[in-house]
Amino acid sequence: MSQERLYTIKELSEIVGISKQAIYKALNQKDNQLNKYLTIIDNQKMIRESALSEVYGIKEEQPNDKPVEQPEVNKFNDRLLELLQSQIELYKTQLEQKDKQIEQLQKLLENEQKLRLENSPKLLEVMQGVEDPQQEQATIVPEQKQPEEKKPAAGVKSKSLFGWFKRK
């Protein structure tokens, strides 16, 4: 008999896909066939590799250097990559449009500033009062009369909010 690999209970439970408690429960039964493959090393229960195929029907592990490809995952990743690339292209075109808009707004702002500079001497004249005398007369507004305050008639008591304090 060649040197057979030994698995701990934890390793066996991960390979087989059942809990450690289920394996221990099976080992505690007297007539279970898993007991044939049990060996104790340094107070640790170990199960021989042949138990995988004979008890659980799992083929013994063979080293495999080639990774197993998952076509569904690869298809999903390819689709995701395509989607992300299309989004990047969309964002690039949007960014180019925004750059053009910013450039147009800059030109409009420069034009507005030039117009303001051209009109600023005229605005200064208006603000300092160096206007034409005809325009100055047209802007004079006649004074308005202020309404006179109403005084209560003699002998009439005023009704105010706190008037009842003043009463005797």
| Domain assignment of residue 37, yes or no | yes
What are the C-alpha distances in Å from 90 to residues 51, 58, 80, 81, 99? 58, 51, 15, 14, 14
| Domain assignment of residue 133, yes or no | no
Looking at residue 35, the DSSP 8-state letter turns out to be: G
Straight-line distance from the first to the last Cα atom of the chain, in angstroms, rounded to the nearest whole number: 127
| Domain assignment of residue 167, yes or no | no
Amino acid at 66: K
| Domain assignment of residue 11, yes or no | yes
Tokens 């034009």 correspond to: 111
pLDDT at residue number 98: 96
| Domain assignment of residue 22, yes or no | yes
| Domain assignment of residue 79, yes or no | no
What is the CATH classification number for the domain harbouring 28?
Answer: 3.90.105
pLDDT at residue number 64: 43
Domain count, the chain: 1
Instruction: For residue 18, give the 3-state DSSP assignment.
Output: coil
Contact present, 39 and 48 (Cβ < 8 Å): yes
pLDDT at residue number 66: 46
Structural domain boundaries, residue 21: 6-54
Question: How does pLDDT run across 89-105, given as a tens digit for each residue?
Answer: 999 999 999 999 999 99
| Domain assignment of residue 81, yes or no | no
- Please tell me the distance from the alpha carbon of residue 154 to that of residue 83, in angstroms, as a whole number: 91
pLDDT at residue number 135: 52
Question: How does pLDDT run across 42-74, given as a tens digit for each residue?
Answer: 888 888 888 887 777 777 554 444 455 566 778
pLDDT at residue number 134: 53
Side-chain-side CA neighbours of residue 158 (13 Å): 11
Which stretches in the chain have pLDDT values below 50? Answer: 1, 62-66
| Domain assignment of residue 17, yes or no | yes
